[in-house]
Structure 1
Amino acid sequence: MSELRRSHDSAWKYLFSSPKVVHQLLTRFVDDEVFSGVTVEDITPFDKSFVSDEFLDRESDVIYRVRSGDRDVYIYVLIEFQSTVDKSIPIRMLHYILGLYDQFYRTSQAGKLPAVFPILLYNGNERWTVPRNVRELIEPAIAERYIPSFEYYPIIEQDISDETLERIHGILAAVMYLDKRRDDTELRAAIDRVIDLLAGERPEQFLMFGVCGSIAAAIDFPPGSR
């Protein structure tokens, strides 16, 4: 992994270290009623102290606990930075969540395991063609009830129009808007729009955008475009 790519990964992880950004993700980019009444105060970082280092290092992950009504729901976000499509994503995500459940089972005294909502955030250039359900990757040679069924929620950056990002606004929309620019000309033209997208954000969010936005813009410019 190049140093610039590593910085890009770290920038996105830094962005999602903010519960406010996670709140924007759940309420503005995820269309599911379970998050409709969630507030920033309902979102807390996942306590990773009981999870082994080997398990945590397997993926570029974001995990939060979200209070939804009278229950806790966990969200797992896989941030996929590869420029090409990885067809193993559904299997990787299922594997990660099963590992997470194993950790819960070993350490929790609760009767049932908590629900985990899986989200894929993909910002590669290739069109995303991977099935949403792992079942579609398995030959239907046996009864369907014996074949695993696991579905993730895809957020594909290139499929989100600029108009949609402008309507959504906020720091996450601003970083995505900048991340979609492909050369200096597009970047310069985007500055005013990005400022509008950040209207209403607190000063600390502007600082966070300064770190994440600059790296997001730099990483995706092809050689010779600058």
Structure 2
Amino acid sequence: MPDKREPHHSHDKGYKQLFSSKRAFLELLKTFVHEEWTKDIDEDSLVRVEKSYILQDFSEKEADIVYRLKTKGNDVIFYVLLELQSTVDYLMPFRLLLYMVEIWRDIYNNTPEGERERKGFRLPAVVPAVLYNGANNWTAALHFKEILAGYRQFEEHVLDFRYILFDVNRYDVEELYQVANLVASIFALDQKMDAGELIRRLRKLAGGLKNLGRDEFRQFATWLSHVFKARLPEPVQEKVDRIIGEVNPWEVEKMITNLEITLEEMQQQAEMRGLIKGRAEGRAEGEARGKVEATQDAICKYLKRRFGDASAGLQQKVREMTSLEVLDSVMEELFAANTLEEAGDIIREGINKSLQ
């Protein structure tokens, strides 16, 4: 059945793409599930279940990722169900139960009647798991029985299971640095932080990212582009896509530097716009002249920070412009200038407009 659902959170699509890879899913289990059965799993034992399990009572939601696996040395086949969450869902234990029942119902209905009625017929184990990347603590019950009223009185008789919780924001970042595989790196970058901290973490992860295979790195780059753009304003998102989309594993430090430059330019632009607004609005006397001087000061400061002492001649030319309309236009166009030469062309064009 095709997936017609829109992701209920922007990260869902990225994580679904990531864990559609058997290697990444296996890495998730082996890195973050410290149980004996994970030691016996390899890629050959994993099969992605290409089937949607849509629940009647939760028609807008469906199980995100289901893998079928057979452990080495025995005939036990069980399913690992991974549900992606960005907010706390207090009905999660109940919803997971419904998914588990749907899996069992599907297996039962597709097993020949003679086989399923044998004494030795067994339904496979289903191991439910939740990947949560929300900022708040996960406060939903981890055991199914905890959502049953009065379960303590009948504890020996009521249904129960405990799902695995991958709580992205609660992992210690230093431990994630030490692991430094694909999934750990993504978890380290998906924790709640601003774009500046994201760059700092990228630098710490650079060594491990260079060691990723080409396919793994493309998975990482796709995910990074998605999450990085979510922290940035729309005007610079296309540039971020270009920076990340063109890089190879051995050029990861170049990518980080280019992303850092983009952030610095964005910050400079914001500061300059704020400076223009603040200075222009702060002049009660000589208002028109005050706005012109404020805009000249802001442009010169931007040129100094962006291009250094080499921009001194251009700064002098900016002082020759007295039209506030032209100065505002020059300021906006300068943000797109990548070189001193491009900035010079913009300023000279501004001077020509001033003389007209």
Q: 1:190 aligns with which of 198, 201, 206?
A: 201
| Cα shift at 1:5 | 6.1
Q: Aligned residue for 2:132?
A: 122
How far apart, CA to CA, are the structure 2 residues paired with 1:52 and 1:158?
28
How far apart, CA to CA, are the structure 2 residues paired with 1:100 and 1:61?
13
Q: Percent identity?
A: 25
How far apart, CA to CA, are the structure 1 residues paired with 2:150 and 2:54?
36
Secondary structure at the aligned position of 1:117 is classed as: strand
Residues 174-216 of structure 1: per-residue CA shift (max 9 Å, x gap)? 1111111521210121121232332432101111111112223
Residues 43-81 of structure 1: per-residue CA shift (max 9 Å, x gap)? 121142xx6767797325111112212232211001112
Q: Aligned residue for 1:10?
A: 13
Q: 1:72 aligns with which of 50, 73, 77?
A: 77
How far apart, CA to CA, are the structure 1 residues paired with 2:53 and 2:169?
34
Alignment partner of 1:62 is 2:65: yes
Alignment partner of 1:209 is 2:224: no
- Contact preservation (8 Å) 2:169, 2:192: no
Secondary structure at the aligned position of 2:41 is classed as: coil
- Contact preservation (8 Å) 2:77, 2:124: yes
How far apart, CA to CA, are the structure 2 residues paired with 1:204 and 1:160?
25
| Cα shift at 1:16 | 0.6
Q: 1:136 aligns with which of 138, 146, 163?
A: 146
How far apart, CA to CA, are the structure 2 residues paired with 1:113 and 1:46?
16
| The structure with more helix, counted as a fraction of residues | 2
- For structure 2, list consecutive stretches of 5 or more residues without a partner in the other structure: 1-5, 234-262, 267-356
Higher RCO, Cα 8 Å, sep 6+: 1
Alignment partner of 1:93 is 2:96: yes
| Cα shift at 1:158 | 1.2
| Cα shift at 1:217 | 3.5
Query: Against the structure 1 CA distance between its residues 191 and 47, is the aligned structure 2 distance closer, same or farther, given a 3 Å change threshold?
Result: closer
- Contact preservation (8 Å) 2:133, 2:168: yes
Alignment partner of 1:150 is 2:155: no
Q: How many residues align?
A: 218
- Contact preservation (8 Å) 2:131, 2:167: yes
Q: Aligned residue for 1:159?
A: 170
1:98 maps to amino acid:
V
1:158 maps to amino acid:
N
Residues 127-147 of structure 1: per-residue CA shift (max 9 Å, x gap)? 112221011111116522442
How far apart, CA to CA, are the structure 1 residues paired with 2:221 and 2:162?
34
Q: What TM-score do you get using the length of structure 1 for normalisation?
A: 0.85
Residues 88-130 of structure 1: per-residue CA shift (max 9 Å, x gap)? 1111111111111111111124521111111111000001122
The structure having more radius of gyration, on CA atoms, is 2
1:190 maps to amino acid:
R
How far apart, CA to CA, are the structure 1 residues paired with 2:94 and 2:144?
6
Query: Against the structure 1 CA distance between its residues 22 and 146, is the aligned structure 2 distance closer, same or farther, given a 3 Å change threshold?
Result: same
- Contact preservation (8 Å) 2:55, 2:98: no
| The structure with more strand, counted as a fraction of residues | 1
Residues 141-183 of structure 1: per-residue CA shift (max 9 Å, x gap)? 6522442212101111111111121122211111111111521
Query: Against the structure 1 CA distance between its residues 25 and 177, is the aligned structure 2 distance closer, same or farther, given a 3 Å change threshold?
Result: same
Q: Aligned residue for 1:43?
A: 46
Q: Aligned residue for 1:169?
A: 180
Query: Against the structure 1 CA distance between its residues 143 and 4, is the aligned structure 2 distance closer, same or farther, given a 3 Å change threshold?
Result: closer
- Contact preservation (8 Å) 2:63, 2:81: no
- For structure 1, list consecutive stretches of 5 or more residues without a partner in the other structure: none
Q: What TM-score do you get using the length of structure 2 for normalisation?
A: 0.56
1:134 maps to amino acid:
F
